[in-house]
A and B are shown apart, each in its own frame.
Chain A
Protein backbone atom coordinates (compact mmCIF):
# COMPACT_ATOMS: atom_id res chain seq x y z
CA UNK A 1 0.00 0.00 0.00
CA UNK A 2 1.39 3.33 -1.08
CA UNK A 3 1.67 6.13 1.45
CA UNK A 4 1.31 9.60 0.07
CA UNK A 5 -0.45 12.76 1.32
CA UNK A 6 -3.51 12.08 -0.84
CA UNK A 7 -3.89 8.59 0.61
CA UNK A 8 -3.33 9.88 4.14
CA UNK A 9 -6.00 12.53 3.63
CA UNK A 10 -8.36 9.96 2.13
CA UNK A 11 -7.83 7.82 5.20
CA UNK A 12 -8.60 10.78 7.45
CA UNK A 13 -11.82 11.44 5.52
CA UNK A 14 -12.87 7.80 5.69
CA UNK A 15 -12.08 7.66 9.40
CA UNK A 16 -14.40 10.60 10.05
CA UNK A 17 -17.13 9.03 7.93
CA UNK A 18 -16.77 5.61 9.56
CA UNK A 19 -16.81 7.15 13.04
CA UNK A 20 -20.09 8.91 12.25
CA UNK A 21 -21.48 5.70 10.73
CA UNK A 22 -20.57 3.69 13.82
CA UNK A 23 -22.21 6.32 16.03
CA UNK A 24 -25.43 5.90 14.04
CA UNK A 25 -25.32 2.11 14.38
CA UNK A 26 -24.39 2.52 18.05
CA UNK A 27 -27.49 4.66 18.61
CA UNK A 28 -29.69 2.02 16.99
CA UNK A 29 -28.37 -0.70 19.27
CA UNK A 30 -28.26 1.73 22.21
CA UNK A 31 -32.00 2.22 21.80
CA UNK A 32 -32.53 -1.52 21.98
CA UNK A 33 -30.45 -1.65 25.16
CA UNK A 34 -32.49 1.22 26.61
CA UNK A 35 -35.63 -0.85 26.04
CA UNK A 36 -33.95 -3.79 27.77
CA UNK A 37 -32.98 -1.74 30.83
CA UNK A 38 -36.45 -0.19 31.14
CA UNK A 39 -38.00 -3.66 31.02
CA UNK A 40 -35.51 -5.01 33.50
CA UNK A 41 -35.91 -2.21 36.02
CA UNK A 42 -39.70 -2.37 35.80
CA UNK A 43 -39.91 -6.16 36.11
CA UNK A 44 -40.96 -7.47 39.56
CA UNK A 45 -38.52 -10.41 39.25
CA UNK A 46 -35.55 -11.12 37.03
CA UNK A 47 -35.10 -13.34 35.12
CA UNK A 48 -38.77 -13.57 34.27
CA UNK A 49 -40.43 -16.96 34.18
CA UNK A 50 -40.49 -17.14 30.40
CA UNK A 51 -36.72 -17.21 30.01
CA UNK A 52 -35.93 -19.91 32.58
CA UNK A 53 -35.22 -22.47 29.83
CA UNK A 54 -33.00 -20.18 27.83
CA UNK A 55 -30.26 -22.12 25.95
CA UNK A 56 -26.82 -21.31 27.36
CA UNK A 57 -24.33 -23.19 25.18
CA UNK A 58 -25.32 -21.82 21.77
CA UNK A 59 -24.99 -18.12 22.69
CA UNK A 60 -21.66 -18.91 24.33
CA UNK A 61 -20.43 -20.63 21.15
CA UNK A 62 -21.62 -17.64 19.12
CA UNK A 63 -19.60 -15.37 21.38
CA UNK A 64 -16.50 -17.49 20.87
CA UNK A 65 -16.98 -17.47 17.10
CA UNK A 66 -17.47 -13.70 17.09
CA UNK A 67 -14.33 -13.16 19.19
CA UNK A 68 -12.34 -15.49 16.95
CA UNK A 69 -13.49 -13.66 13.83
CA UNK A 70 -12.36 -10.36 15.31
CA UNK A 71 -8.96 -11.95 15.95
CA UNK A 72 -8.66 -13.30 12.40
CA UNK A 73 -9.63 -9.89 11.02
CA UNK A 74 -6.98 -8.30 13.19
CA UNK A 75 -4.41 -10.75 11.80
CA UNK A 76 -5.61 -10.02 8.26
CA UNK A 77 -4.84 -6.34 8.81
CA UNK A 78 -1.39 -7.04 10.23
CA UNK A 79 -0.03 -9.99 8.22
CA UNK A 80 0.01 -8.99 4.60
CA UNK A 81 1.47 -12.26 3.31
CA UNK A 82 -1.34 -14.35 4.92
CA UNK A 83 -4.07 -11.86 4.17
CA UNK A 84 -6.04 -14.16 1.88
CA UNK A 85 -6.05 -17.00 4.42
CA UNK A 86 -7.26 -14.76 7.21
CA UNK A 87 -9.90 -13.25 4.93
CA UNK A 88 -11.32 -16.73 4.34
CA UNK A 89 -11.18 -17.48 8.07
CA UNK A 90 -13.04 -14.29 8.95
CA UNK A 91 -15.65 -14.81 6.27
CA UNK A 92 -16.15 -18.46 7.29
CA UNK A 93 -16.54 -17.53 10.96
CA UNK A 94 -19.10 -14.88 9.99
CA UNK A 95 -21.14 -17.51 8.15
CA UNK A 96 -20.74 -19.91 11.09
CA UNK A 97 -22.06 -17.20 13.43
CA UNK A 98 -25.20 -16.84 11.27
CA UNK A 99 -25.69 -20.62 11.27
CA UNK A 100 -25.39 -20.68 15.06
CA UNK A 101 -27.98 -17.91 15.30
CA UNK A 102 -30.36 -19.93 13.17
CA UNK A 103 -29.82 -22.98 15.36
CA UNK A 104 -30.39 -20.80 18.45
CA UNK A 105 -33.74 -19.51 17.16
CA UNK A 106 -34.84 -23.09 16.44
CA UNK A 107 -33.67 -24.24 19.87
CA UNK A 108 -35.57 -21.42 21.55
CA UNK A 109 -38.75 -22.37 19.72
CA UNK A 110 -38.22 -26.05 20.54
CA UNK A 111 -37.91 -25.27 24.25
CA UNK A 112 -41.22 -23.38 24.19
CA UNK A 113 -39.81 -19.84 24.10
CA UNK A 114 -41.83 -18.30 21.30
CA UNK A 115 -41.52 -14.85 19.90
CA UNK A 116 -44.97 -13.87 21.17
CA UNK A 117 -44.41 -15.06 24.76
CA UNK A 118 -43.68 -11.63 26.18
CA UNK A 119 -41.27 -8.75 26.16
CA UNK A 120 -38.15 -10.75 27.04
CA UNK A 121 -38.51 -13.43 24.34
CA UNK A 122 -39.36 -10.59 21.96
CA UNK A 123 -36.06 -8.97 22.91
CA UNK A 124 -34.07 -12.17 22.49
CA UNK A 125 -35.50 -12.78 19.03
CA UNK A 126 -35.78 -9.14 17.90
CA UNK A 127 -32.33 -8.05 19.04
CA UNK A 128 -30.60 -11.13 17.59
CA UNK A 129 -32.49 -10.70 14.29
CA UNK A 130 -31.26 -7.15 14.01
CA UNK A 131 -27.71 -8.11 14.92
CA UNK A 132 -27.76 -10.94 12.38
CA UNK A 133 -29.01 -8.48 9.76
CA UNK A 134 -26.00 -6.31 10.46
CA UNK A 135 -23.70 -9.33 10.21
CA UNK A 136 -25.10 -9.95 6.72
CA UNK A 137 -24.20 -6.34 5.81
CA UNK A 138 -20.75 -6.83 7.36
CA UNK A 139 -20.26 -9.98 5.26
CA UNK A 140 -21.11 -7.93 2.19
CA UNK A 141 -18.46 -5.38 3.14
CA UNK A 142 -16.03 -8.30 3.55
CA UNK A 143 -16.90 -9.45 0.02
CA UNK A 144 -16.22 -5.88 -1.18
CA UNK A 145 -12.86 -6.03 0.54
CA UNK A 146 -12.22 -9.50 -0.91
CA UNK A 147 -12.51 -8.04 -4.38
CA UNK A 148 -9.42 -5.96 -3.65
CA UNK A 149 -7.52 -8.62 -1.68
CA UNK A 150 -7.89 -11.30 -4.34
CA UNK A 151 -8.17 -9.38 -7.62
CA UNK A 152 -6.83 -5.84 -7.29
CA UNK A 153 -4.36 -5.79 -4.36
CA UNK A 154 -2.63 -2.72 -5.79
CA UNK A 155 -5.83 -0.73 -5.17
CA UNK A 156 -6.30 -1.97 -1.61
CA UNK A 157 -5.90 1.03 0.66
CA UNK A 158 -5.36 1.00 4.39
CA UNK A 159 -8.52 3.07 4.76
CA UNK A 160 -10.65 0.28 3.23
CA UNK A 161 -9.04 -2.39 5.39
CA UNK A 162 -9.30 -0.42 8.61
CA UNK A 163 -12.86 0.78 8.09
CA UNK A 164 -14.38 -2.60 7.27
CA UNK A 165 -12.50 -3.86 10.32
CA UNK A 166 -14.00 -1.19 12.53
CA UNK A 167 -17.49 -2.29 11.51
CA UNK A 168 -16.64 -5.95 12.08
CA UNK A 169 -15.15 -5.34 15.55
CA UNK A 170 -18.05 -3.03 16.44
CA UNK A 171 -20.53 -5.82 15.75
CA UNK A 172 -18.41 -8.10 17.92
CA UNK A 173 -18.65 -5.67 20.83
CA UNK A 174 -22.42 -5.31 20.30
CA UNK A 175 -22.81 -9.09 20.33
CA UNK A 176 -20.81 -9.34 23.55
CA UNK A 177 -23.11 -6.79 25.22
CA UNK A 178 -26.18 -8.62 23.94
CA UNK A 179 -24.83 -11.93 25.17
CA UNK A 180 -24.19 -10.54 28.63
CA UNK A 181 -27.58 -8.81 28.87
CA UNK A 182 -29.83 -11.44 27.36
CA UNK A 183 -28.15 -14.70 28.34
CA UNK A 184 -25.77 -14.20 31.29
CA UNK A 185 -26.78 -11.41 33.70
Chain B
Protein backbone atom coordinates (compact mmCIF):
# COMPACT_ATOMS: atom_id res chain seq x y z
CA UNK B 1 0.00 0.00 0.00
CA UNK B 2 2.67 2.52 -0.97
CA UNK B 3 2.23 6.13 -2.05
CA UNK B 4 2.88 6.30 -5.78
CA UNK B 5 4.68 9.21 -7.40
CA UNK B 6 5.09 9.95 -11.09
CA UNK B 7 8.67 11.07 -11.68
CA UNK B 8 9.19 13.12 -14.83
CA UNK B 9 12.52 13.18 -16.54
CA UNK B 10 14.00 14.84 -19.55
CA UNK B 11 16.85 13.22 -21.41
CA UNK B 12 17.40 10.93 -18.45
CA UNK B 13 17.56 13.77 -15.91
CA UNK B 14 14.88 14.10 -13.24
CA UNK B 15 13.05 17.38 -13.14
CA UNK B 16 13.35 19.36 -9.92
CA UNK B 17 9.55 19.50 -9.66
CA UNK B 18 9.54 15.69 -9.65
CA UNK B 19 12.05 15.49 -6.82
CA UNK B 20 9.80 17.92 -4.98
CA UNK B 21 6.73 15.74 -5.49
CA UNK B 22 8.82 12.76 -4.33
CA UNK B 23 9.52 14.71 -1.13
CA UNK B 24 5.80 15.39 -0.81
CA UNK B 25 4.98 11.72 -1.38
CA UNK B 26 7.43 10.82 1.41
CA UNK B 27 5.59 13.23 3.72
CA UNK B 28 2.25 11.55 2.93
CA UNK B 29 3.80 8.09 3.29
CA UNK B 30 5.09 8.98 6.75
CA UNK B 31 1.59 10.10 7.77
CA UNK B 32 0.14 6.84 6.48
CA UNK B 33 2.95 4.65 7.84
CA UNK B 34 3.93 3.33 4.42
CA UNK B 35 6.57 3.63 1.69
CA UNK B 36 6.99 5.55 -1.58
CA UNK B 37 7.08 3.97 -5.02
CA UNK B 38 8.25 6.12 -7.90
CA UNK B 39 7.44 5.42 -11.53
CA UNK B 40 9.93 6.51 -14.19
CA UNK B 41 9.75 6.28 -17.97
CA UNK B 42 12.91 5.50 -19.92
CA UNK B 43 15.31 6.70 -17.24
CA UNK B 44 18.38 4.61 -16.42
CA UNK B 45 20.09 5.83 -13.28
CA UNK B 46 17.48 6.22 -10.54
CA UNK B 47 19.82 6.37 -7.53
CA UNK B 48 19.10 10.09 -6.96
CA UNK B 49 15.47 9.31 -6.12
CA UNK B 50 16.38 7.59 -2.86
CA UNK B 51 17.76 10.90 -1.60
CA UNK B 52 14.30 12.42 -1.91
CA UNK B 53 12.37 9.71 -0.14
CA UNK B 54 11.59 7.17 -2.85
CA UNK B 55 11.91 3.60 -1.49
CA UNK B 56 11.25 1.68 -4.67
CA UNK B 57 11.33 2.61 -8.33
CA UNK B 58 9.30 0.98 -11.07
CA UNK B 59 11.31 1.46 -14.25
CA UNK B 60 9.33 1.45 -17.45
CA UNK B 61 11.53 1.05 -20.51
CA UNK B 62 9.56 1.25 -23.70
CA UNK B 63 10.65 2.99 -26.88
CA UNK B 64 7.00 3.74 -27.70
CA UNK B 65 6.91 5.92 -24.59
CA UNK B 66 9.90 8.05 -25.60
CA UNK B 67 7.61 11.01 -26.33
CA UNK B 68 5.15 11.91 -23.62
CA UNK B 69 1.73 10.48 -24.40
CA UNK B 70 -0.97 11.34 -21.85
CA UNK B 71 -3.22 8.34 -22.45
CA UNK B 72 -0.43 5.76 -22.56
CA UNK B 73 1.36 7.24 -19.55
CA UNK B 74 -1.93 7.36 -17.60
CA UNK B 75 -2.62 3.72 -18.50
CA UNK B 76 0.87 2.67 -17.40
CA UNK B 77 0.54 4.61 -14.14
CA UNK B 78 -2.84 3.03 -13.47
CA UNK B 79 -1.30 -0.42 -13.79
CA UNK B 80 1.48 0.61 -11.41
CA UNK B 81 -1.13 1.83 -8.91
CA UNK B 82 -2.98 -1.50 -9.20
CA UNK B 83 0.23 -3.47 -8.74
CA UNK B 84 1.32 -1.48 -5.68
CA UNK B 85 -2.24 -1.20 -4.29
CA UNK B 86 -1.56 2.51 -3.86
CA UNK B 87 -4.15 4.74 -2.26
CA UNK B 88 -2.44 8.05 -2.99
CA UNK B 89 -0.88 9.11 -6.29
CA UNK B 90 1.23 12.27 -6.40
CA UNK B 91 2.06 14.19 -9.58
CA UNK B 92 3.64 17.58 -10.31
CA UNK B 93 1.81 20.43 -12.01
CA UNK B 94 3.86 20.49 -15.19
CA UNK B 95 1.96 20.78 -18.47
CA UNK B 96 2.29 17.02 -18.96
CA UNK B 97 1.20 16.05 -15.45
CA UNK B 98 -1.80 18.36 -15.67
CA UNK B 99 -2.64 16.66 -18.96
CA UNK B 100 -2.57 13.09 -17.68
CA UNK B 101 -3.87 13.52 -14.10
CA UNK B 102 -7.59 13.88 -14.92
CA UNK B 103 -7.39 10.83 -17.23
CA UNK B 104 -5.66 8.81 -14.53
CA UNK B 105 -8.18 9.95 -11.90
CA UNK B 106 -11.12 8.71 -13.97
CA UNK B 107 -9.39 5.39 -14.74
CA UNK B 108 -8.77 4.91 -11.00
CA UNK B 109 -12.17 6.22 -9.95
CA UNK B 110 -10.16 8.58 -7.78
CA UNK B 111 -10.81 12.13 -6.64
CA UNK B 112 -8.22 14.59 -7.96
CA UNK B 113 -7.09 17.78 -6.30
CA UNK B 114 -4.77 20.06 -8.27
CA UNK B 115 -2.58 23.02 -7.21
CA UNK B 116 -2.04 21.56 -3.75
CA UNK B 117 0.33 23.52 -1.52
CA UNK B 118 0.48 21.49 1.71
CA UNK B 119 0.40 18.00 3.15
CA UNK B 120 -3.05 16.67 4.11
CA UNK B 121 -4.30 17.83 7.49
CA UNK B 122 -4.46 14.27 8.78
CA UNK B 123 -4.13 10.71 7.53
CA UNK B 124 -7.78 9.96 8.19
CA UNK B 125 -9.51 12.95 6.59
CA UNK B 126 -7.58 13.82 3.47
CA UNK B 127 -8.05 17.60 3.42
CA UNK B 128 -5.50 19.48 1.33
CA UNK B 129 -4.92 23.19 0.92
CA UNK B 130 -5.00 24.33 -2.71
CA UNK B 131 -4.76 27.64 -4.46
CA UNK B 132 -7.99 28.88 -6.02
CA UNK B 133 -9.16 31.95 -7.90
CA UNK B 134 -5.73 32.10 -9.52
CA UNK B 135 -3.89 32.55 -6.24
CA UNK B 136 -6.31 35.12 -4.85
CA UNK B 137 -7.46 32.54 -2.26
CA UNK B 138 -6.98 29.01 -0.93
CA UNK B 139 -9.54 26.24 -0.70
CA UNK B 140 -9.39 23.35 1.74
CA UNK B 141 -10.53 20.36 -0.26
CA UNK B 142 -11.46 16.99 1.15
CA UNK B 143 -10.77 14.12 -1.26
CA UNK B 144 -13.39 11.58 -0.24
CA UNK B 145 -12.60 8.66 -2.57
CA UNK B 146 -10.65 5.56 -1.61
CA UNK B 147 -7.83 6.39 -4.04
CA UNK B 148 -6.68 10.00 -4.24
CA UNK B 149 -4.71 11.84 -6.93
CA UNK B 150 -2.82 14.91 -5.72
CA UNK B 151 -1.21 17.50 -7.98
CA UNK B 152 1.40 19.45 -6.02
CA UNK B 153 2.24 23.04 -7.00
CA UNK B 154 5.82 23.88 -7.78
CA UNK B 155 7.91 25.34 -4.95
CA UNK B 156 5.05 24.84 -2.48
CA UNK B 157 6.60 22.00 -0.54
CA UNK B 158 10.30 22.25 -1.35
CA UNK B 159 12.94 19.57 -1.63
CA UNK B 160 13.36 17.46 1.49
CA UNK B 161 16.30 15.11 1.59
CA UNK B 162 15.76 11.74 3.20
CA UNK B 163 18.03 8.93 4.30
CA UNK B 164 17.72 5.91 2.14
CA UNK B 165 18.29 4.22 -1.14
CA UNK B 166 15.74 3.27 -3.73
CA UNK B 167 15.51 -0.27 -5.02
CA UNK B 168 14.75 -0.57 -8.71
CA UNK B 169 12.47 -2.99 -10.48
CA UNK B 170 11.62 -3.27 -14.15
CA UNK B 171 7.95 -2.87 -14.92
CA UNK B 172 6.27 -3.56 -18.24
CA UNK B 173 2.68 -2.36 -18.39
CA UNK B 174 0.36 -3.80 -21.02
CA UNK B 175 -0.44 -1.04 -23.43
CA UNK B 176 -3.17 -1.18 -26.01
CA UNK B 177 -3.52 0.36 -29.43
CA UNK B 178 -6.03 2.88 -28.09
CA UNK B 179 -3.31 4.30 -25.85
CA UNK B 180 -1.60 5.60 -28.96
CA UNK B 181 -4.46 7.29 -30.77
CA UNK B 182 -2.99 10.76 -30.25
CA UNK B 183 0.34 10.91 -32.05
CA UNK B 184 3.10 13.46 -31.77
CA UNK B 185 4.32 14.56 -35.20
CA UNK B 186 6.56 17.46 -34.22
CA UNK B 187 8.14 18.90 -31.08
CA UNK B 188 9.38 22.46 -31.13
CA UNK B 189 11.17 23.21 -27.89
CA UNK B 190 13.55 26.03 -27.09
CA UNK B 191 16.85 24.41 -26.17
CA UNK B 192 19.13 25.90 -23.52
CA UNK B 193 16.44 28.31 -22.42
CA UNK B 194 14.95 28.26 -18.95
CA UNK B 195 11.18 27.77 -19.13
CA UNK B 196 8.69 29.64 -16.96
CA UNK B 197 7.47 26.31 -15.59
CA UNK B 198 10.91 25.22 -14.40
CA UNK B 199 12.43 28.59 -13.53
CA UNK B 200 13.47 29.54 -10.03
CA UNK B 201 13.72 33.16 -11.14
CA UNK B 202 11.50 34.93 -13.67
CA UNK B 203 12.28 38.32 -15.20
CA UNK B 204 9.17 39.90 -16.66
CA UNK B 205 8.62 43.02 -18.75
CA UNK B 206 5.56 45.19 -19.32
CA UNK B 207 4.31 48.04 -21.42
CA UNK B 208 6.78 50.35 -19.69
CA UNK B 209 9.48 48.87 -21.95
CA UNK B 210 7.88 50.73 -24.87
CA UNK B 211 8.58 48.14 -27.57
CA UNK B 212 9.91 44.68 -28.41
CA UNK B 213 13.21 46.17 -29.50
CA UNK B 214 13.96 46.96 -25.86
CA UNK B 215 13.74 43.36 -24.68
CA UNK B 216 17.48 42.83 -24.96
CA UNK B 217 18.06 44.16 -21.46
CA UNK B 218 15.37 41.85 -20.05
CA UNK B 219 17.05 38.89 -21.74
CA UNK B 220 20.48 39.99 -20.53
CA UNK B 221 19.28 40.25 -16.95
CA UNK B 222 17.55 36.86 -17.24
CA UNK B 223 20.73 35.31 -18.57
CA UNK B 224 22.79 36.66 -15.70
CA UNK B 225 20.30 35.25 -13.21
CA UNK B 226 19.67 31.98 -15.05
CA UNK B 227 16.05 33.11 -15.22
CA UNK B 228 13.14 32.67 -17.60
CA UNK B 229 11.67 35.69 -19.38
CA UNK B 230 7.99 36.58 -19.17
CA UNK B 231 5.65 39.47 -19.90
CA UNK B 232 2.37 41.12 -19.02
CA UNK B 233 -0.85 40.66 -20.99
CA UNK B 234 -0.75 43.88 -23.07
CA UNK B 235 2.75 42.96 -24.21
CA UNK B 236 1.69 39.57 -25.55
CA UNK B 237 -1.55 41.03 -26.97
CA UNK B 238 0.48 43.57 -28.94
CA UNK B 239 2.67 40.76 -30.24
CA UNK B 240 5.88 42.06 -28.67
CA UNK B 241 6.37 38.68 -26.99
CA UNK B 242 4.82 35.23 -27.55
CA UNK B 243 1.62 34.20 -25.73
CA UNK B 244 3.60 31.51 -23.94
CA UNK B 245 5.35 34.25 -21.94
CA UNK B 246 2.15 35.96 -20.78
CA UNK B 247 1.89 35.72 -17.02
CA UNK B 248 -1.44 36.29 -15.31
CA UNK B 249 -4.95 35.06 -14.79
CA UNK B 250 -5.57 34.20 -18.43
CA UNK B 251 -1.93 33.39 -19.10
CA UNK B 252 0.54 31.42 -17.02
CA UNK B 253 0.71 31.33 -13.26
CA UNK B 254 4.21 31.69 -11.87
CA UNK B 255 5.42 30.07 -8.67
CA UNK B 256 9.09 31.00 -8.79
CA UNK B 257 11.33 31.91 -5.86
CA UNK B 258 11.96 35.36 -7.32
CA UNK B 259 9.82 37.38 -9.72
CA UNK B 260 11.24 40.61 -11.10
CA UNK B 261 8.62 42.85 -12.74
CA UNK B 262 9.97 45.62 -14.92
CA UNK B 263 7.67 48.32 -16.28
CA UNK B 264 4.57 46.39 -15.21
CA UNK B 265 1.97 48.44 -13.37
CA UNK B 266 0.39 45.43 -11.66
CA UNK B 267 -3.20 44.92 -12.83
CA UNK B 268 -5.22 42.62 -10.54
CA UNK B 269 -5.13 39.85 -13.19
CA UNK B 270 -1.35 40.03 -13.42
CA UNK B 271 -0.87 40.05 -9.66
CA UNK B 272 -3.11 36.97 -9.36
CA UNK B 273 -0.78 35.14 -11.71
CA UNK B 274 2.34 35.87 -9.67
CA UNK B 275 0.96 35.69 -6.11
CA UNK B 276 2.42 32.24 -5.62
CA UNK B 277 5.95 33.54 -6.21
CA UNK B 278 7.92 33.84 -3.01
CA UNK B 279 9.77 37.14 -3.48
CA UNK B 280 8.67 39.93 -5.79
CA UNK B 281 10.76 42.83 -6.99
CA UNK B 282 9.24 45.70 -8.94
CA UNK B 283 11.04 48.31 -11.00
CA UNK B 284 8.76 51.09 -12.22
CA UNK B 285 8.96 54.84 -12.71
CA UNK B 286 5.45 55.36 -11.35
CA UNK B 287 5.53 55.26 -7.53
CA UNK B 288 1.73 54.87 -7.57
CA UNK B 289 1.85 51.62 -9.62
CA UNK B 290 -0.30 48.99 -7.82
CA UNK B 291 2.58 46.51 -8.08
CA UNK B 292 4.39 48.33 -5.27
CA UNK B 293 1.65 47.15 -2.89
CA UNK B 294 2.21 43.51 -3.86
CA UNK B 295 6.02 43.58 -4.02
CA UNK B 296 8.62 42.83 -1.36
CA UNK B 297 11.26 45.13 -2.83
CA UNK B 298 10.77 48.07 -5.14
CA UNK B 299 12.86 50.54 -7.08
CA UNK B 300 11.17 53.69 -8.32
CA UNK B 301 12.93 54.93 -11.41
CA UNK B 302 13.63 54.61 -15.11
CA UNK B 303 13.93 50.95 -16.08
CA UNK B 304 16.18 51.84 -19.01
CA UNK B 305 18.76 53.15 -16.55
CA UNK B 306 18.20 50.74 -13.70
CA UNK B 307 18.06 47.39 -15.48
CA UNK B 308 21.44 47.56 -17.27
CA UNK B 309 23.03 48.89 -14.09
CA UNK B 310 21.46 46.13 -12.01
CA UNK B 311 22.67 43.58 -14.54
CA UNK B 312 26.26 44.81 -14.29
CA UNK B 313 26.16 44.75 -10.51
CA UNK B 314 24.66 41.26 -10.51
CA UNK B 315 27.45 40.06 -12.79
CA UNK B 316 30.01 41.46 -10.34
CA UNK B 317 28.16 39.86 -7.44
CA UNK B 318 28.08 36.51 -9.24
CA UNK B 319 31.77 36.69 -10.08
CA UNK B 320 32.56 37.36 -6.43
CA UNK B 321 30.27 34.65 -5.12
CA UNK B 322 31.00 32.03 -7.75
State whether these chains interact. Answer: no
